Amino acid sequence: MSTDHVELRTGAYADSVTLLQVSRRVQQLPGVVTAQVAMATPLNVEVLERMGFAVPPEATVNHLVVAVRLEDSGALDGVVTEVDRALTDSRRQGSGPAEEEPPHTTASALRRGPASVVLVSVPGASAAVEAMDALEAGCDVMVFSDNVPIEQEVALKRFASARDLLMMGADCGTAVVGGVGLGFANVVAPGPVGIVAASGTGCQQLLALLDHAGVGVATAYGVGGRDLSADVGGLATRTALTRLDRDPGVELAVLVSKPPASAVARELTAYAEALGTPVIPALLGPGRPDLTARAEEVLRALAREVPEWPVRGRHTRAGTGIRLHGLFVGGTMKQEAEALVTAAGVPSDLVDLIDFGDDEYTTGRAHPMIDPTLRLEHLAEVAADDETGVVLLDVVLGHGAEDDPAASLAPAITGLRPSVVVTVVGTRYDPQGLDRQVATLVDAGAEVHLSNAGATRRALEILGAGVTEG
C-alpha cells in the first residue's frame, strides 16, 4: 500500500526548470512511485491533484511543494534527504565558459577572422564548396584536391577573376606564398624570381635548381594542370602573372606549364607582353627545352652564373640489362623523362615509366610523396628482373613530403644489380636535409642528381652501355 507525503516549504524558491529536474531525480529513487517538487502555482496544483496528491489549501505561489508517493512509509526519511540534496545540487551545477568549437566550414573559419590564404584538400566532390567560401570572403584559395569537375573549376576561377582573387588549382600541389610553402613545397630564400606553375613538381624542380644557383624566389603560384586548357582559358595564370607584375621585388616571372591550347597561348602571350615584368614561358613537352634548360635561361636572364648541376656517386661500371624503368612520384618528372627518352630514340618497348602520383595509383591511398609503399613494391619487382638495366627514380623533399624518404628508399636500392639513378628535388633549407638525403642514397649505391633532365640523360647513357655490352 503506497503512502503519500506532501509538505509545503516557504522561502525555498527555485525556477520551474530546476524543479522539473529535481522532480525527475526524485522520481528515480528506489521506493518512489511518483514524485513532484514544484512551486504551488495554480497550474502545478492542478497537476499535483491530477496525480492524486492532496495539496494543503493554504498553499500559495510562494510555497515549494514536495509531493512524494512511496511504496512504503519507511523510505520517507531517505527520500526527503535526497530531495534536499537534489535541491542543493541544482544550485551549483556548471563550470566556466566552454571552449569555442573549431569551425566546421571554411566560411565559419573566415567569419572568425581574416586569413592569408585558404588551403583546400577535402575530397574533390566537396572542394568547390569550400573554395567558394574562401572567394566569397575575399580570400585567395589553393585547391589541392583532385577530381574536381572542370566546370566547377571554371566557375570558381571566373568568380575569382572578376574580384581580382587567385584560385590556385584544382589539383594544385605546390605554392610558395608570403614565404610559406603550401602543399608540397620546398623552402626557398626570398629572391627576384616569381613563378606561375601549372605543374607542382615542375615548380619544385625549378625551385631546387634556382636554389642551387643561389637565386631565391619571391612567390610561386600554382594554377592547376588545367588552367591553360581551352576550357579554363588561363584565368588563374593571368591573375597570378598580374600579381607578380605588381610585386616590385619580382624581376622576372617564369610560367611553367605544358604547352597551352593554341587560342589560350595567343591570348596569354599578348597578355604577358603587356606586363612590365619579363615573363619566360617554360612550356614543357616533346621537342621543347627541359626544365633544367629553362632554369639556365632564367639565370642568364638575371645575368647570373649557370652552375654545374651537382651529381654525386657517379656510377663507374656499366649495367647489364636492356630496359629502363622509371618510377616517379612527380608527374612532371615523369613527363620530362618521357620526352627525353623519346627524343633519344630509345625503342618504347625498352622503357617503362610510371607516375605513382597518377590517379590510377592514388585511389584509396596517400600520394607517393607521403606513402612510399607502392613504389617500393614495384621497385623490388623490376630490380629482380634480369632485363632491367637502369632504374630511374625521383625523390621530392620539402614540407608536406615524407620525413625521411632516403631512409625508406636506401634499403630497397642497396646491393641492386641494375644501376640506380635518382633525382633528389630539394633545397638546402628543406626540413629533410638535402645533403643528408643525398649522402644516404649515394651510400646505398645510387647516382644522385639535382636535375631530372640530367638524371634521365645519364640513365640513357648507362642503358646504352648496357645495350652495347649485352
Chain positions 398 to 417 lying near another protein, rule: CB under 8 A, are 399-400
Q: Which is nearer to another protein, 47 or 343 (CB)?
A: 47
Cα 140 from Cα 2, distance rounded (Å): 72
Chain positions 156 to 175 lying near another protein, rule: CB under 8 A, are 156, 159
Which of 13, 37, 40 lies closest to 27, judged by CA? Answer: 37
Question: What are the start-end ranges of the E strands in 169-278?
Answer: 174-177, 180-183, 193-197, 217-222, 252-257
Chain positions 238 to 297 lying near another protein, rule: CB under 8 A, are none
In the complex, what is the shortest distance from the CB of residue 17 to another protein, in angstroms, rounded to a whole number?
A: 5
User: How many residues touch another protein (CB under 8 A)?
Assistant: 75
Task: Examine residue 181 and tell whether it contacts another protein (CB under 8 A).
Answer: yes
Q: Which of 26, 152, 336, 412 binds another protein (CB under 8 A)?
A: 152
In the complex, what is the shortest distance from the CB of residue 154 to another protein, in angstroms, rounded to a whole number?
A: 9
Q: Which of 82, 130, 296, 430 binds another protein (CB under 8 A)?
A: 130
Convert residues 30-69 into a mask of x (bound to another protein by CB under 8 A) and - (unbound).
----x-x------x--xxx-xx------------------
Q: Which is nearer to another protein, 89 or 386 (CB)?
A: 89
Which of 337, 336, 396, 353 lies closest to 372, judged by CA? Answer: 396
Task: Examine residue 136 and tell whether it contacts another protein (CB under 8 A).
Answer: yes
At residue 46, the 3 state secondary structure works out as helix
In the complex, what is the shortest distance from the CB of residue 401 to another protein, in angstroms, rounded to a whole number?
A: 9
In the complex, what is the shortest distance from the CB of residue 271 to another protein, in angstroms, rounded to a whole number?
A: 24
Residue 271 phi/psi, 5-degree rounding, is: -65, -45
At residue 243, the 3 state secondary structure works out as helix
Q: Which is nearer to another protein, 23 or 419 (CB)?
A: 23
And the C-alpha cell for 361?
A: 595509383
Q: Which of 26, 40, 59, 119 binds another protein (CB under 8 A)?
A: 119
C-alpha neighbours within 13 Å on the C-beta side of residue 458: 27
Q: Are 402 and 372 in contact (CB under 8 A)?
A: yes
Task: Examine residue 221 and tell whether it contacts another protein (CB under 8 A).
Answer: no
Chain positions 357 to 396 lying near another protein, rule: CB under 8 A, are 370
Task: Examine residue 187 and tell whether it contacts another protein (CB under 8 A).
Answer: yes
Task: Examine residue 145 and tell whether it contacts another protein (CB under 8 A).
Answer: yes
In the complex, what is the shortest distance from the CB of residue 147 to another protein, in angstroms, rounded to a whole number?
A: 11
Q: Which of 285, 289, 431, 445 binds another protein (CB under 8 A)?
A: 431
Task: Examine residue 344 and tell whether it contacts another protein (CB under 8 A).
Answer: no
Task: Examine residue 203 and tell whether it contacts another protein (CB under 8 A).
Answer: no
Residues near 400 by beta carbon (within 8 Å), at least 6 away in sequence = 181, 183, 184, 185, 369, 370
Bond into 170 cis (ω within 30): yes
CA angle 168, 190, 167 (to 5 degrees): 10
Task: Examine residue 29 and tell whether it contacts another protein (CB under 8 A).
Answer: no
Q: Which is nearer to another protein, 289 or 431 (CB)?
A: 431
Task: Examine residue 92 and tell whether it contacts another protein (CB under 8 A).
Answer: no
Task: Examine residue 326 and tell whether it contacts another protein (CB under 8 A).
Answer: no
Q: Are 331 and 201 in contact (CB under 8 A)?
A: yes
10 Å CB burial of residue 317 (0-12, 13-18, 19+) is: exposed
Candidate segments 15-23, 76-84, 294-302, 416-424, binder of another protein by CB under 8 A: 15-23
Chain positions 441 to 470 lying near another protein, rule: CB under 8 A, are none
Candidate segments 72-80, 103-111, 248-256, 261-269, binder of another protein by CB under 8 A: 103-111
Cα 384 from Cα 402, distance rounded (Å): 26
Q: Which of 60, 81, 88, 108 binds another protein (CB under 8 A)?
A: 108
In the complex, what is the shortest distance from the CB of residue 225 to another protein, in angstroms, rounded to a whole number?
A: 18
Q: Are 188 and 217 in contact (CB under 8 A)?
A: yes
Q: Which is nearer to another protein, 147 or 348 (CB)?
A: 147
Q: Which is nearer to another protein, 185 or 197 (CB)?
A: 185
Residues near 1 by beta carbon (within 8 Å), at least 6 away in sequence = 72
Q: Which of 116, 147, 269, 414 binds another protein (CB under 8 A)?
A: 116
DSSP string, 439-455: HHHHHTT-EEES-HHHH
Residues near 63 by beta carbon (within 8 Å), at least 6 away in sequence = 8, 9, 10, 39, 40
Which of 470, 441, 443, 469 lies closest to 455, judged by CA? Answer: 441
Task: Examine residue 150 and tell whether it contacts another protein (CB under 8 A).
Answer: no
Q: Which of 18, 161, 242, 362 binds another protein (CB under 8 A)?
A: 18
Single-letter amino acid, residue 351: V
